[in-house]
Amino acid sequence: MASIAPISETKCLLKLVVNDREVSVVAPPAQRISRVLREQLGLTGTQVGCDAGDCGACTVLLDGEPVCACLVAVGQVENHAITTVEGLKSRPPILGRLQGAFLRHGAAQCGACTPGMLVSATALLERNASPSEADVMDALGGVLCRCTGYRKIVDAVVSVGSECGETSCPAAGASVGQRLVRLDGKCKVEGTEIYGADEIPTGALTLRAIRCPYDRARFRFGDLEAFVTANAGVEAILTAKDVPGEDCYGVIPRFADQPVFAHEEARYRGEAVAAIVGEAEVIESLDPANFPVCWEDLPGLKTIDEALAPGAPLIHPHRADNVLTRGRVVRGDVEKALAEADAVAEGEFETGFVEHACIEPEAGFATRIGDRIEIQACTQSPYMDRADIAKLLGIPAEAVRIIPTAVGGGFGTKLDLSVQPFLALAAWRLRRPVRMVYSRIESIICTTKRHPARMRCRAGATKDGKLLALDFAADFNTGAYSSWGPTVAARVPVHASGPYAVPHYRALTRAIHTNIVPAGAFRGFGVPQMAIAQEQLYDDLAIRLGIDPLEFRILNALDNQTPTVTGQVMGEGVGIRACFEALNSRWNTARVDAVEFNAKTSGPIRRGVGVAGMWYGCGNTSLPNPSTVRIGLKRDGRIALHQGAIDIGQGSNTIVTQICADALYAPIDCFDLVSGDTSITPDCGKTSASRQTFVTGKAAHMAGVELRRSILRLTNASEDAVIDFGERTLTIREGGKQRSFSLQDLPLDKYGYALTAEQTFDPPTSALDENGQGRPYAVYGFGAHMAEIAIDVELGTVRVLKIVAAHDVGRAINPTLIEGQIEGGVAQGLGMALMEEFFPGKGENLHDYLIPTIGDIPPVESILIEDPSWIGPFGAKGVGEQAVIPTAPAILNAIHHATGVRMRRIPATPDRIREAILAHYSSDPGATRG
C-alpha cells in the first residue's frame, strides 16, 4: 500500500478515487471511510456490522488490498483508490463471475456479510486465479458470517475459475426440487440490498436511547427542558410520559409486560429510560453521562437461584416467585418405570446465554404521514410489530404501516421490537422522520438472547435397550421481560423425549425472571439446550447398557404408529429412523478409525465420534398461526405473488415462489414477488418456528391451485388442461385443441388484477390438556448429526473434523437452500457447543464474544431424506431450526467418546474441558483415555 498521510482535525475537501471514479467529499479527515462511502457517496453495499474492525462486513479494497473501512480515516486515503462491492463487477479478471458463483452456490443468505466476503475474495482471486480451499479460508478469515456456515462461500470462490455461469429457468411445473438461485439474490451480491440502516430520509432526525447502566436501578430525571434548551439541535426528549397509548408490549399478548421506557425503576442493564432526538451530528456528539438522570443502584437478581430464593423481590409483582410461566407434559408412570428399569442414567446440565450476533445491527426509521405512521426497519414479524405499535400509539392497526427492509440475520431476535417503538413515538410526536441505528454494543446489551438453561434428567431402559422412561426438569433464565419465555417453557416439554418412543414421561419447565436483558427466541426456542441434556443422557444410558449409541437410537426411534409423549400418532412422515440409518456406514467407519487412532497415538490428541438426533414441531405450539397468500394475474400475463413471509436469508422468497409456480403450473420466471409490507401483502405470520416453507408454502400452494382453477373455468377446460402464460395472452391447451384470449379484455378486480386468488392455511393442531396431551403440531422435522472431533486433552481444545447431517425435510423444495440452512445451523451448533457464551455486562462486542469463523467450520455432508408430510406443500417440512439442534450434543458426545469425560456446563470451552478431564482422571485414576 502507498504511504499514508497524517490525519488533520479540520473538516475539509478531500479527493478520492472510488470504483475508478474521482470524487470529492467534505468531511472531517478522521471520519471513517465506511461512513463517507455510505452517507456521502450512497455506496451502502459496504455494511457496518461492528464499527470496530471485528466483523469484516465493511471490507473494501484500498489500492487493491482489503481493509476494514470502519478502521480507516478518510483523510488517510486522499487520492488513493477505493473499491467497494458496487465496483467489483468491472474488475478484471473477475468481471462478475464471482457474484454469479455466489448465487449458484447459495453463498449469500441474509447477505450482510456478502460484500465483505466478495471484496476479500476479489483480492485473493486477483493474485491467485485458482485458489485452494485453504487459500480461500485464509483470505476470508477476517470476515464473519452468521448464516451460511461458510462452506458454500468457500465452494463459490474455489469454483470461480472453473464453472460457467448461466442457469436456465425450469419448465412449468418443474420448479420444486430444483437448485434455483435465490430470486432476491442479485441485490445481495451487487451491494444494492436495502437493510435497516441503508436509507436516510431527507430531514431525518436521529434518536439515541439513554439506557440504565445497572442491573436494577431507580431513577429520577433532572431538568429535561433545560437540557433541550442548552443543546442546540436537540429537538426533544422522550420518556414514559410520552407514550400516548397503552405502554405495554410483548410478542405474546397474554404475557405482554414491557414498557417502551422504564417507569421509575429499570429492570435490567441496558433498559431504555429516555431518548434524545435531534440533528444527527448533535446527537452523536452528546455525552450520555451529561444527561440529567440520577440513578439509585439496587441489588439485582442475576441468577435463577437468586430469583427463586425465598423472600426475593418480585421483578413483576403479579408473578409469584419470579416464575413467568410453567410447562408440563406427563404420560404414564415415570417413577415406577424408572424403579423397574435395568439401567438408569441421570445428570444435570447447564447452558449459558447465547448472543444472536446478526451481522446487521437493528436499524430503521419512522415517518408520520397525517394520522398514519410508517416504519421501515429490519424485522421478522411485520404484523406483530404493527399490532404493538398501534397499541403503543393508541391508533388503529390499519394506521400503522410496517415496511420491512432486508434482514441482515435474525435467528429469532428480530421477532421482538427493537428500534421501532422509539422511532414510532418520536416521529409521531415530532412529525418528522426519525432514524435510529443500534451500535454493535447497544445491540448486544439490549436485544434478546438464547435462554440459559439448567436441566436435570433421569432416563431408564430395559437391558435390551428399550427406553422406558424420562424424567426431565428445566429452569430457563428468561430475564426481565417475558419475550418468548412462555414459548420456550411450552415447547421444551413436548420435545424433551427427543425423537424416540418414551412410554413413561415427565417434563416440567419454568421460565424464571431475573434482572438481566430478556431472553427470547433463538433458533429452536429452548430445544437446542434441551437436546444437549437429553442426547448426552441417552448416550450415557446406551454406554451403561453396552449398546452402540447409534444402534440405541435406531432401536428407540419414533415411527409412524408410535405415540409421541403428547399421545400424538403421526401416521406418516416420521423420518427419524431413516436419518439415523443414513449415518450407519459412516458411523461404523469413523468409530473404528477413531479407536484405531487413539490406540496408536501417544500424544495429547484424541479422536472421538458422537451422534445426536432431534425432532422439531413446525409452527406454533397448539396455537393458531395462519398464513395468507394472494396471487394476482396481471394483464401483461405476469403473476404477482403477495407473500408476507419475511426472508431473513433462509430463502422463503424463493421457496414459496417455487411452490406457488408448480401449484399453478407456471414457469417461475412469470412471477413478480411482492414481499413483506403490511400495506400490500396479507399476513404470513412471523418468520420463526420453521413455519414458512410449511405454512406459508402451503398457503401459496393453495392459492396457486385456486388461480389455476379460476383460469381454467374461463374456458370450461378440465383440470388436465395446460395453460401457457404469454405476454398479455393466455392460451389453454387440451385434447389437441387450444384457445387463446387476451388478458386486456378481462376487467380488473379490487386488487387491480385480471384474476386474484387468496388462500389461508392454518396448521391443524389441538390444545394440550393439563398433562400436555394432545396434538401440538401438525408436522415435525427430523434429523440426526454425526460429529468427528479431535481433542487435545492437555489444552482442552477441540477441533471438529467433520459433520454429517441427515435431515428429513419431507420434500426438498430447493436442495441448495436447504443445505445452506443445515450448514448454517451446524455452525451455530458448533459455536454453542464449544465457544459461545454471553456474560451480561462483559465483552459486549464481537471481539470478545466469539462466534465461529471460517477456520472453525469443518466439511459438512448434508443428507436429505424425503419422507413426505401428510399436509405440507409437496410434502415439505421445515428445516431452519432443526438444523442447529443436534450439532452441539453430537460434538459433546464425541468429546465423551474421545476422553470419557461428560461435559455438563456448556459451552465446553478449553478451560472447562481441561478441568473436567483433570477431575475425571483424578476421581478415576484407572480410567483409560477414550
Instruction: Restricting to residues 647-666, name those near ligand FES by CB under 6 A.
Output: 649
Cα–Cα distance between 833 and 848 in angstroms, integer? 17
The tally of CA atoms less than 13 A away on the side-chain side of residue 921 is 11
Taking residues 545 to 564 in sequence order and writing x for each that binds ligand FES by CB under 6 A, - otherwise, the string is --------------------
Choice between 147 and 389, CB closer to ligand FES: 147
Choice between 303 and 439, CB closer to ligand FES: 439
Choice between 683 and 823, CB closer to ligand FES: 823
Cα–Cα distance between 346 and 536 in angstroms, integer? 10
Choice between 114 and 658, CB closer to ligand FES: 114
Is-contact 217 265, C-beta < 8 A? yes
Choice between 486 and 649, CB closer to ligand FES: 649
**Peptide linkage before 624 cis (omega within 30 of 0):** no
Choice between 111 and 776, CB closer to ligand FES: 111
Instruction: Restricting to residues 4-63, name those near ligand FES by CB under 6 A.
Output: 48-51, 53-58
Torsion of CA 144, 150, 156, 158, to 10 degrees: 90
Is-contact 703 758, C-beta < 8 A? yes
Taking residues 631 to 650 in sequence order and writing x for each that binds ligand FES by CB under 6 A, - otherwise, the string is ------------------x-
Closest CA relative to residue 534, chosen from 806, 802, 886? 886
Taking residues 726 to 765 in sequence order and writing x for each that binds ligand FES by CB under 6 A, - otherwise, the string is ----------------------------------------
Cα–Cα distance between 274 and 287 in angstroms, integer? 14
H-state helical runs in 408-448 = 420-430, 440-446
Helix and strand totals (H; E) in the chain: 22, 34
Smallest distance from ligand FES to CB 552, Å: 37
Cα–Cα distance between 892 and 915 in angstroms, integer? 15
Amino acid at site 899: T
Instruction: Restricting to residues 340-399, name those near ligand FES by CB under 6 A.
Output: 359
Smallest distance from ligand FES to CB 399, Å: 33
Instruction: Restricting to residues 147-176, name those near ligand FES by CB under 6 A.
Output: 147-148
Strand 81-83 and strand 12-18: the pairing is: parallel
Smallest distance from ligand FES to CB 45, Å: 13
Binding segment for ligand FES (CB under 6 A), chosen from 102-110, 174-182, 289-297, 896-904, is 102-110
Choice between 118 and 423, CB closer to ligand FES: 118
Residue that the C-alpha cell 391508533 belongs to:
395
Smallest distance from ligand FES to CB 76, Å: 15
Smallest distance from ligand FES to CB 651, Å: 11
Smallest distance from ligand FES to CB 436, Å: 18
Smallest distance from ligand FES to CB 52, Å: 6
Of 14, 37, 43, 68, which one interacts with ligand FES (CB under 6 A)? 68
Choice between 57 and 895, CB closer to ligand FES: 57
Of 45, 75, 100, 111, which one interacts with ligand FES (CB under 6 A)? 111
Cα–Cα distance between 655 and 644 in angstroms, integer? 13
Count of positions (residues) in the chain: 930
Tell me: does residue 812 bind ligand FES (CB under 6 A). no
Of 27, 112, 803, 806, which one interacts with ligand FES (CB under 6 A)? 112
Strand 400-404 and strand 372-377: the pairing is: parallel
Tell me: does residue 108 bind ligand FES (CB under 6 A). yes
Cα–Cα distance between 930 and 101 in angstroms, integer? 43
Is-contact 202 279, C-beta < 8 A? no
Smallest distance from ligand FES to CB 126, Å: 21
Edge-to-edge strand ranges of the sheet holding 434-437? 234-238, 272-278, 205-211, 434-437, 363-369, 372-377, 400-404
Cα–Cα distance between 473 and 493 in angstroms, integer? 9
Closest CA relative to residue 456, chosen from 353, 608, 304, 565? 304
Cα–Cα distance between 682 and 630 in angstroms, integer? 7
Question: Which residues neighbour 218 within 8 Å (Cβ) at sequence distance 6 or greater?
Answer: 264, 265, 295, 296, 298
Binding segment for ligand FES (CB under 6 A), chosen from 108-116, 535-543, 724-732, 855-863, is 108-116
- Dig out the grid coordinates for 852 from the structure: 465461529
Smallest distance from ligand FES to CB 93, Å: 25
Binding segment for ligand FES (CB under 6 A), chosen from 105-113, 468-476, 536-544, 686-694, is 105-113
Binding segment for ligand FES (CB under 6 A), chosen from 143-151, 260-268, 527-535, 554-562, is 143-151
Choice between 111 and 632, CB closer to ligand FES: 111
Cα–Cα distance between 817 and 864 in angstroms, integer? 12
**Peptide linkage before 421 cis (omega within 30 of 0):** no
Cα–Cα distance between 18 and 496 in angstroms, integer? 55
Task: State the distance between the two ends of the chain, measured CA to CA, in whole angstroms.
Answer: 51
Cα–Cα distance between 527 and 730 in angstroms, integer? 49
Choice between 439 and 760, CB closer to ligand FES: 439
Q: State the Rg of the chain over Cα.
A: 28
Choice between 188 and 577, CB closer to ligand FES: 188
SS (H, E, C) 265-290: EECCCCCEEEEEEECHHHHHHCCHHH
Tell me: does residue 520 bind ligand FES (CB under 6 A). no
Smallest distance from ligand FES to CB 498, Å: 30
Smallest distance from ligand FES to CB 857, Å: 12
Q: Supply the DSSP string of 598-666, one letter for each residue.
A: HHH--SSEEEEEEEEEEEEE-SSSSS---EEEEEEE-TTS-EEEEE----SSS-HHHHHHHHHHHHHT-
Smallest distance from ligand FES to CB 174, Å: 28
Choice between 188 and 591, CB closer to ligand FES: 188
Smallest distance from ligand FES to CB 586, Å: 28
Instruction: Restricting to residues 177-206, name those near ligand FES by CB under 6 A.
Output: none
Residue that the C-alpha cell 426519525 belongs to:
434
Tell me: does residue 409 bind ligand FES (CB under 6 A). yes
Of 98, 113, 511, 827, which one interacts with ligand FES (CB under 6 A)? 113
Of 36, 70, 334, 798, which one interacts with ligand FES (CB under 6 A)? 70
Binding segment for ligand FES (CB under 6 A), chosen from 146-154, 221-229, 257-265, 658-666, is 146-154
Smallest distance from ligand FES to CB 409, Å: 5
Choice between 71 and 252, CB closer to ligand FES: 71
Tell me: does residue 894 bind ligand FES (CB under 6 A). no
Cα–Cα distance between 658 and 155 in angstroms, integer? 24
Smallest distance from ligand FES to CB 649, Å: 5
**In 794-883, beta strands by DSSP E:** 797-808, 860-865
Smallest distance from ligand FES to CB 844, Å: 15
Choice between 47 and 497, CB closer to ligand FES: 47
Of 109, 175, 325, 529, which one interacts with ligand FES (CB under 6 A)? 109
Binding segment for ligand FES (CB under 6 A), chosen from 109-117, 129-137, 418-426, 895-903, is 109-117
How many residues bind to ligand FES according to rule CB under 6 A? 26
Choice between 439 and 738, CB closer to ligand FES: 439
Which spans of this chain sit near ligand FES (rule: CB under 6 A)? 48-51, 53-58, 68, 70, 108-114, 145-148, 359, 409, 649
